[in-house]
Amino acid sequence: MTALTRATKSTGGRGLAPHGSASAQPPHPPPQLQSPTSAELLAYFGETWHLYDWLFSGVAPEAIAMQPDPLRHPLVFYVGHTAAFYVNKLRLAGLWQDGVDAHLDQLFARGVDPATANDLQTLAWPTLAEALRYRGTVFDRVRLFIEGLDVCGAITPSDPLWSLAMSLEHDRIHFETSSVLIRQLPLDVVTRPPGWVYADTAGEPPPLAWIAVPPRSVELGRPASGATFGWDNEYGQLAADVSAFVATQNLISNRDYFGFVSDEGYARRDLWSEAGWRWRSRQAVERPRFWTGSVSNPRYRAMFDELEMPWSWPVEVCAHEAEAFCRWLGGGARLLREVEHAALALDAPRDSTGDSIAHPGYNLNLRYGSPCPVASLPSGRTPLGFNDVFGNVWQWFGDDFQPLPGFVPHPYYPEFSQPYFDRDHAALGGGAWASTGASASRLYRLWFRRHFFQHAGFRVARDV
For the bound state, the minimum distance from the C-beta of residue 237 to Fe ion, rounded and expressed in Å, comes to 27
For the bound state, the minimum distance from the C-beta of residue 45 to Fe ion, rounded and expressed in Å, comes to 17
Options 109-117, 254-262, 269-277, 341-349: segment touching Fe ion (CB under 5 A):
109-117
Closest by alpha carbon to 396, among 276, 217, 244, 267?
276
DSSP 225: T
Answer for the pair 428, 291: CB distance below 8 angstroms, yes or no.
Answer: no
Closer to Fe ion at the Cβ: 223 or 411? 411
Closest by alpha carbon to 157, among 237, 87, 226, 238?
226
Options 106-114, 257-265, 418-426, 446-454: segment touching Fe ion (CB under 5 A):
106-114
For the bound state, the minimum distance from the C-beta of residue 425 to Fe ion, rounded and expressed in Å, comes to 16
Closer to Fe ion at the Cβ: 180 or 218? 180
Closer to Fe ion at the Cβ: 28 or 73? 73
What does 52-101 look like in DSSP terms, one character per residue? HHHHHTTB-GGGTT--SSTTS--HHHHHHHHHHHHHHHHHHTTS-S--S-
For the bound state, the minimum distance from the C-beta of residue 222 to Fe ion, rounded and expressed in Å, comes to 20
Kindly state whether residue 111 participates in binding Fe ion, applying the rule CB under 5 A. yes
Kindly state whether residue 419 participates in binding Fe ion, applying the rule CB under 5 A. no
Tell me the chain's radius of gyration from C-alpha atoms: 21
Instruction: Output the residue with the shortest Cβ distance to Fe ion.
Output: 111
Count of residues of this chain found to bind Fe ion when the rule CB under 5 A is applied:
1
Kindly state whether residue 194 participates in binding Fe ion, applying the rule CB under 5 A. no
For residue 377, give Cα distances in angstroms to 146, 313, 361, 372, 387: 38, 12, 5, 9, 7
Options 105-113, 190-198, 201-209, 392-400: segment touching Fe ion (CB under 5 A):
105-113
Report the alpha-carbon distance of residue 216 to residue 240 in Å, rounded: 8
CA 173 to chain centre: 6
For the bound state, the minimum distance from the C-beta of residue 173 to Fe ion, rounded and expressed in Å, comes to 7
Closer to Fe ion at the Cβ: 75 or 199? 75
Closer to Fe ion at the Cβ: 111 or 419? 111
**Maximum distance among all Cα pairs of the chain, rounded to whole angstroms:** 63
Report the alpha-carbon distance of residue 19 to residue 21 in Å, rounded: 6
Closer to Fe ion at the Cβ: 77 or 96? 77
Q: Site residues (CB under 5 A) for Fe ion?
A: 111
